[in-house]
Amino acid sequence: MKDIPTLANPTISQSARMRRLGDKVLGPEMGLDNGGAMTHSIRFAQTRPIVFVANQPRWSQRDINSHKRLLVFSMSTLPCGFSADVQEEVILKFTKPMKRVLHRKPFAIAVIVVSSAFSLLAQRPMSPLVAVTSPRHGTWGFDPRGMDPSVKPGDDFFSYANGAWIRKTNIPPDQTSVGPFSDLRRLCAEQVHLLLETTQDNRSDSDEGRVHTLYQAFMDDSSIEQAGAHPLQSDLQLVRKVGNRADVARLMKRHGFEASLFDLEIEKDEKHPDRYAVHLGQGDLGLPNRDLYLDAQFTDKKRLYKAYVAEMLRLAKWPNANKSATAVVAFESLIAQASWRGEDLRDNSKSYHSMSLANLRRMAPMFPWADFMAGDHLSENDFLIVTTDTSVVKLAELYGSTPLSTLKAWEAFRMTDAAAPYLSNDFRQARFAFRGNALNGLEAPPSERWPGAVSLLNALMGSTVGKMYVAAYFPAERKMAVQAIADSVMQALRSDLAQLTWMDPITRAKSLRKLDDIAVQMGYPDHWRSYAGVNLNKQTLYKDVETLRNHNWNYQVSQLKMAWNKNDWRFWPQEPVAYTENGQLIFPAGMLQAPFFTAQADAAVNYGSIGHVIGHELTHPFDDRGDWWTPEDRQRFKERSARLAKQYSAMEPLPGVHIKGELTLIENVADLGGLSLAYKAYRTTLSHDEDAVERDFTRDQEFFLGYAQVCREKERPDSLRNRLASEVHSPAAARLNGVVQNMPEWYKAFNVNPGERMYIVPDERVAIW
Ligand SMILES: [Zn+2]
């Protein structure tokens, strides 16, 4: 009885009460058989919980009777279809608006328990919800049907563990890839969608009410269509009126739809991690990375981009769209040339240059910095950390030599491009045709509007959505179970640090102290943010987005006067990611679901999956970006990691396109260290009896298969090509094979011998943690 698939109403106390009921009656892990056979859910109507059951719920009649507050509707076979062997199930499938379902005769909805009379039918009809379809992963957490036993594990472990899955899985037309991460992203989005659909809070002065309003604004297609390009016009008018360069600089805001040559971030000061500082560096490009402008393999994409720029300028009614587009793309190509490569951006030692505004002015005199800072409400700030110093100088020069008309057209295009998702369909279609189809190979835009709403709410009001999400989907038991895994992985690193042969005593003592300072935040932060004072209107989406962006930026500016806040998460609980910041390892609740963590899975599988994620994050504070090493140890670390970089550089995921070993190095080191630590943690927690139990696979094999399963990923070639150019994580198959081929335990588990394709002689294997 672990996970409770509840839909929370707006207050935590009610969902907490529901959780207590849920603990008793509901089945375990989230997920659903793809057939949609077993689904159930709970939602609240006003203050009363209602449970909907469809087919084979795993509750007994006694369970139901014992909870007089529950209303149970059966859509088919209650009470005879109870089944005890359902391992994973969840949420609810409404394929019709609820009102209609409830009225429909053939379903003959049976009210099993009625506590008090109230009318569900009085509610507004719900829009159709889609089933949450996280696939079930076998009986012990791993799905062996995805394997290809005809491949020898030592020849290609990825194909051995995942080959059948790769063959039979198709990438959905509106996705760039399919696999556990995209499945989990979709699951989390659907969970949030269900919350958004069922939130009834209409108060304008509560954060839940604001979430509700923004959701309604995003979903109100007819108001958005009616408004057409109108919402954009007042911002475009500001660009049209620009008469000099200082005006352009003032427009380049970090918090609006405007584009900026320079990125401004308010983040912790690396050298004084207890406080925030303004970081200034090169800005984003219109295309996802600089290679797309500069590398011959992307010539076609660049040509299509120019057509897209022209199309957007036409929709924005900007004069001479074609000619302006040519100038814009030429300008951006020069920006790309001036910009640092991804490899250099990852090196913290190169990207910390603190200075005053006067010093910045001296360093890069061709840009009106005071006007730029004023646009972002930072006039009073006189301490800056310049990250990409040399590119900042070049970009300032470029700004000084670019015609004003080009700068204005560039602003108009970038503003329209950024605002397009909140404008009428003609803008959205044009954006999809380039960004979705031409750039990433997507065949179709999302068939529904709500995924965009979920992304927007996560980005702009993520804290409140997270609060609602945790109340509905993250029970205390799951938090405790994953915390126990995290504790054992940290213990594994502690023992490791005491024994590592390549580390000298000074670095060793420093690393142990560093480890003592590391804290894990599991599932959700201790405090939630407030959006008090924000006024939203469900008829004005574009304005609402601007209002919230402004609010969030001003909030960040206000933090400059405060101490670093560990509860201010970069990604909120409903997002399936994990990350490390300032000695905090952060695992949002959304990440702690199958296949990364499954309460019913064998421990070996959980350690291979979520254990690896925890180990991966745990190694980041110890990677080569800090200055805590003795020079000799840093050198030894560099030698080892250079050998790993060489191994990855030799991999060729697309014909002729290799992995960038340097770009991906830190993440590859974290993958290898993470899996090694998870393995050590697993072995120390494994009992002798459990180890001896005979199943289809040994416990060690299960561990590596657990990791292989979370690496099951299939990606469109266009998207993969883009990713190889700039993404710091290696593609999934390399994250698997590149790691296990360095681990002696893997050779032993699968009896891998010389002559097999992945075999590396022991001396050449890399071990860091
Ligand atoms: Zn990482």
Long-range contacts, 437-440 (Cβ 8 Å, 24+): 438/301, 438/304, 438/308, 439/287, 439/288, 439/301, 439/304, 439/718, 439/722, 440/176, 440/716, 440/718, 440/719, 440/722
How high is the pLDDT of residue 253? 81
Task: Compute, in angstroms, the gap from residue 669 CA to the centroid of ligand 1.
Answer: 9
Least confident stretch, 340-344, 346-350, 498-502 = 346-350
Tokens for 740? 């296990």
Residue range 150-228+449-527+565-769, CATH number: 3.40.390.10
Q: Is the pLDDT of residue 39 over 60?
A: no
* 624-665 confidence digits (pLDDT tens): 666 678 888 888 888 999 999 999 999 999 999 999 999 999
* 724-768 confidence digits (pLDDT tens): 998 999 999 999 999 999 999 999 999 999 999 999 999 999 998
**53 vs 434: which has the higher pLDDT:** 434
Task: Compute, in angstroms, the gap from residue 342 CA to the centroid of ligand 1.
Answer: 15
- What three-state secondary structure class fits 147? coil
How high is the pLDDT of residue 8? 29
Distance in angstroms (rounded) separating the CA atoms of residues 556 and 549:
11
Task: Compute, in angstroms, the gap from residue 709 CA to the centroid of ligand 1.
Answer: 18
Q: Is the pLDDT of residue 496 over 50?
A: yes
Task: Compute, in angstroms, the gap from residue 258 CA to the centroid of ligand 1.
Answer: 30
How high is the pLDDT of residue 624? 66
* 522-534 confidence digits (pLDDT tens): 999 999 999 999 9
How would residue 134 be classed by pLDDT, with cut points 50, 70 and 90?
A: very low
Task: Compute, in angstroms, the gap from residue 470 CA to the centroid of ligand 1.
Answer: 24
Q: Is the pLDDT of residue 404 over 80?
A: yes
Task: Compute, in angstroms, the gap from residue 478 CA to the centroid of ligand 1.
Answer: 23
Task: Compute, in angstroms, the gap from residue 620 CA to the centroid of ligand 1.
Answer: 7
What is the arithmetic mean of pLDDT over 211-221?
96
Task: Compute, in angstroms, the gap from residue 319 CA to the centroid of ligand 1.
Answer: 45
* H or E element in which residue 601 lies: none
How high is the pLDDT of residue 136? 66
Q: Is the pLDDT of residue 97 over 60?
A: no
Task: Compute, in angstroms, the gap from residue 77 CA to the centroid of ligand 1.
Answer: 47
How high is the pLDDT of residue 626? 65
Amino acid at 524: Y
Amino acid at 141: G
Q: Is the pLDDT of residue 133 over 70?
A: no
Distance in angstroms (rounded) separating the CA atoms of residues 193 and 125:
15
Comparing CA positions, the residue from 698, 692, 707 lying closest to residue 607 is: 707
What does the DSSP 8-state code read for residue 138? Answer: T
Task: Kindly state the percentage of the chain with pLDDT values over 90.
Answer: 69
* 678-719 confidence digits (pLDDT tens): 999 999 999 988 888 889 999 999 999 999 999 999 999 999
Q: Is the pLDDT of residue 99 over 50?
A: no
What's the fold here for domain 232-423? Answer: Neutral endopeptidase; domain 2 (1.10.1380)
How high is the pLDDT of residue 625? 67
Task: Compute, in angstroms, the gap from residue 769 CA to the centroid of ligand 1.
Answer: 15
Which part of the chain is CATH 3.40.390.10?
150-228+449-527+565-769
Q: Is the pLDDT of residue 666 over 50?
A: yes
Which part of the chain is CATH 1.10.1380.10?
232-423
User: Are the C-beta atoms of residues 616 and 580 closer than 8 Å to each other?
Assistant: no
Q: What is the DSSP string of 331-369?
A: HHHHHHHHSPPHHHHT-GGGS-EEE-HHHHHHHSTTS-H
Task: Compute, in angstroms, the gap from residue 40 CA to the centroid of ligand 1.
Answer: 36
Task: Compute, in angstroms, the gap from residue 692 CA to the centroid of ligand 1.
Answer: 34
Distance in angstroms (rounded) separating the CA atoms of residues 192 and 171:
23
How high is the pLDDT of residue 631? 87
Distance in angstroms (rounded) separating the CA atoms of residues 141 and 137:
5
- Measured CA to CA in angstroms, residue 746 lies from 154, 350, 605, 703, 758 at distances of 9, 37, 14, 9, 11
Mean pLDDT across the chain: 83
User: Are the C-beta atoms of residues 432 and 419 closer than 8 Å to each other?
Assistant: no
Task: Compute, in angstroms, the gap from residue 616 CA to the centroid of ligand 1.
Answer: 6
**104 vs 224: which has the higher pLDDT:** 224
Dihedral, 292, 315, 321, 368 alpha carbons, nearest 10: -70
Tokens for 128? 């159709």
Task: Compute, in angstroms, the gap from residue 526 CA to the centroid of ligand 1.
Answer: 23
Comparing CA positions, the residue from 264, 259, 116, 89 lying closest to residue 187 is: 89
How high is the pLDDT of residue 115? 25
Least confident stretch, 47-56, 283-292, 636-645, 706-715 = 47-56
How would residue 567 be classed by pLDDT, with cut points 50, 70 and 90?
A: very high
Q: Is the pLDDT of residue 46 over 60?
A: no
Comparing CA positions, the residue from 745, 733, 738, 625 lying closest to residue 677 is: 745
User: Are the C-beta atoms of residues 606 and 141 closer than 8 Å to each other?
Assistant: yes
Task: Compute, in angstroms, the gap from residue 370 CA to the centroid of ligand 1.
Answer: 36
* 512-557 confidence digits (pLDDT tens): 999 999 999 999 999 999 999 999 999 999 999 999 999 999 999 9
Measured from the Cβ of residue 230, the count of other Cβ atoms closer than 10 Å reads 11
* H or E element in which residue 54 lies: strand 48-54
Task: Compute, in angstroms, the gap from residue 554 CA to the centroid of ligand 1.
Answer: 29
Q: Is the pLDDT of residue 120 over 90?
A: no
* 460-491 confidence digits (pLDDT tens): 999 999 999 999 999 999 999 999 999 999 99
Distance in angstroms (rounded) separating the CA atoms of residues 395 and 27:
57
* 239-252 confidence digits (pLDDT tens): 999 999 999 999 99
Task: Compute, in angstroms, the gap from residue 668 CA to the centroid of ligand 1.
Answer: 8
Tokens for 495? 């023992």
- Measured CA to CA in angstroms, residue 115 lies from 48, 68, 254 at distances of 10, 5, 53
Task: Compute, in angstroms, the gap from residue 667 CA to the centroid of ligand 1.
Answer: 5
- Which distant-in-sequence residues (6+ apart) come within 8 Å of 112 by Cβ? 64, 71, 72, 73, 74, 78, 79
Task: Compute, in angstroms, the gap from residue 502 CA to the centroid of ligand 1.
Answer: 23
Task: Compute, in angstroms, the gap from residue 447 CA to the centroid of ligand 1.
Answer: 32
How would residue 35 be classed by pLDDT, with cut points 50, 70 and 90?
A: very low
Q: Is the pLDDT of residue 295 over 80?
A: yes
Comparing CA positions, the residue from 376, 387, 373 lying closest to residue 344 is: 387
Q: Is the pLDDT of residue 68 over 60?
A: no
Distance in angstroms (rounded) separating the CA atoms of residues 552 and 210:
14
Comparing CA positions, the residue from 392, 366, 405 lying closest to residue 260 is: 392
Task: Compute, in angstroms, the gap from residue 592 CA to the centroid of ligand 1.
Answer: 17
**108 vs 473: which has the higher pLDDT:** 473
Task: Compute, in angstroms, the gap from residue 579 CA to the centroid of ligand 1.
Answer: 7
